[in-house]
Amino acid sequence: MDITELSDDSKRLLILIDHFSEPAHTRKEREIWIKKIPLAALINRGVRKGTFKDYDTAPTLVDYKGTTRFANISKEGEDDVVDMREMGLVERLKLATSHHIYVSAYRITPAGKDTVKDFEKKHHAAISNMLACRECGGEVDIEARDDAPYLICKECGTDEKVDIFDIDEVPYVSRPNFTEIWLPLD
Ligand SMILES: [Zn+2]
């Protein structure tokens, strides 16, 4: 797969990763990485808002701050991250937590930054729109709090919980659908 084959959703995902990560340009500079769950939470928000057209989410067991929980994770989003790592646009780091569990963190590569610049304006606008503060329209940052990740507005400080752990809103887990072949014959 090469860059010309990137879907609209993967372009938007790379723009999203670019918003929340930064490679170091010199040895003294700090690199910024985004951890797996905050990234998954942002993808989840994008799915709910219609920013990602072909992504879906399904309840998946994850480790969040030392606790195993169900979270709504997009498998398509995860697959696109894998593809973009293979293309050299995204890098992954494995970190050991204080609970001795490995968590992945991601950041855009310099090649990824060059690629993002050439994406159509509508994709950049879609991500900016998805990340806009609900109060003032300002840009947000993401913070992993104990109960869930939150979007924090850099301008007015408004915070908004990202309901990645709110699995009751997934319609297809609410009622099992038994077809007639499972029913007793008598
Ligand atoms: Zn704001």
Tell me the CA–centroid distance for residue 151 and ligand 1, in Å.
10
Alpha helix ranges (H) inside 66-165: 75-86, 110-117, 121-131
* CA 152 to centroid of ligand 1, rounded, Å: 8
Per-residue pLDDT tens digits for 39-63: 999 999 999 999 999 999 999 999 8
Is residue 131 a contact partner of residue 140, using CB atoms and an 8 Å limit?
A: yes
User: For tokens 């490995």, what's the residue?
Assistant: 102
Residue 119: CB atoms within 10 Å: 18
Q: Is residue 129 scored above 70 in pLDDT?
A: yes
Positive/negative CA dihedral, 155, 156, 157, 162: negative
Residue 27 has pLDDT above 90, yes or no: no
- Tell me whether residue 118 is exposed, middle or buried, using C-beta atoms within 10 angstroms of its C-beta: 0 to 12, 13 to 18, 19 or more: exposed
> What distance in angstroms lies between residue 161's CA and the mean position of ligand 1's atoms?
14
140 CA → ligand 1 middle, Å:
8
pLDDT of 33 above 90:
yes
Please give the distance, rounded to the nearest whole angstrom, from the Cα atom of residue 16 to the centre of ligand 1.
19
